[in-house]
């Protein structure tokens, strides 16, 4: 039985060069790299929900200077020495519009939870995201429970907001986008 191989440690600049040569995506946090979707890729439900959010946000923002990004665009969080691939994010920053590999100033980030990522998405990743002064809202999407949890930056700190109403018509207000998101918007593609 062999010993586990040590994982490489990088500076953020080294990570960007290394990551560009890799066949698979990796996130970076304080010198360590972590494979994205290490368990053989995303489930269909994850892909459908991420795609639905991307499409809803993008259509709502059409004609504005805001852009919606999906999981292949990196987010660099300099204050946390981190680089992530959020499932969906929105930036209205003019400098971000010029970036090729990573944006820096999102106002909304959405993560679709899986069994293997939920703890990290709620813990260390959210701690890093909170260091982004531009970030107004963080949306966690629980596919199994068909639940939306929105953390909004408010004067008292980060406050949890949940949808109001019943069933698929329940609405969650995304102030950062001036958008009412229904459960049907997020999960409608999962219906048989």
Tell me, what's the pLDDT at 158? Answer: 98
From CA 88, how far away is CA 54, in angstroms rounded? 6
CB 154 within 8 A of CB 25: no
- Given its phi and psi angles, is residue 138 left (phi above 0), alpha (psi -120 to 50 degrees) or beta? beta
Go through the domains of the chain in sequence order and give each one's CATH number.
41-190 (3.90.1570.10)
Smallest CA-to-CA distance from 88 within 119, 65, 112, 104 is with: 112
CB 49 within 8 A of CB 148: no
From CA 156, how far away is CA 154, in angstroms rounded? 5
Tell me, what's the pLDDT at 6? Answer: 54
Which pair of structure tokens corresponds to residue 3? 């010993």
Tell me, what's the pLDDT at 39? Answer: 43
Tell me, what's the pLDDT at 8? Answer: 63
* 192 residues of the chain, pLDDT tens digit each: 454 445 668 899 999 999 999 999 999 999 999 888 654 557 899 999 999 999 999 999 999 999 999 999 999 999 999 999 999 999 999 999 999 999 999 999 999 998 888 999 999 999 999 999 999 999 999 999 999 999 999 999 999 999 999 999 999 999 999 999 999 999 999 986
Tell me, what's the pLDDT at 150? Answer: 98
**Which residue pairs, CB below 8 angstroms and at least 24 apart, start in 17-23?**
19/83
CB count in 10 Å sphere of residue 42: 18
Tell me, what's the pLDDT at 142? Answer: 97
Residues 6+ apart with CB under 8 A from 141: 49, 53, 87, 110, 111, 112, 113, 147, 148, 186
């Amino acid at each position: 039985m062999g010993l586990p191989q040590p994982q490489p440690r990088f500076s953020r600049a080294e990570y960007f060069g290394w990551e560009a040569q890799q066949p698979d995506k990796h996130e970076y946090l304080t010198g360590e790299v972590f494979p994205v979707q290490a368990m053989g890729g995303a489930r269909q439900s994850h892909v459908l929900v991420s795609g639905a959010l991307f499409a809803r946000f993008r259509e709502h923002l059409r004609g504005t200077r805001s852009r919606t990004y999906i999981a292949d665009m990196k987010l660099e969080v300099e204050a946390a020495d981190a680089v992530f691939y959020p499932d969906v994010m929105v930036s209205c920053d003019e400098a971000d519009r010029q970036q090729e590999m990573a944006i820096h100033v999102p106002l909304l980030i959405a993560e679709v939870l899986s069994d293997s990522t939920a703890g990290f998405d709620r813990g260390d990743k959210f701690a890093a995201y909170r260091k982004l002064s531009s970030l107004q809202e963080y949306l966690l999407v629980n596919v199994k429970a068909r639940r939306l949890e929105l953390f909004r930056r408010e004067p008292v700190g980060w406050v949890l907001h949940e949808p109001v109403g019943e069933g698929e018509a329940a609405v969650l207000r995304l102030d950062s986008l001036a958008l009412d998101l229904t459960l049907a918007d997020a999960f409608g593609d999962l219906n048989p």
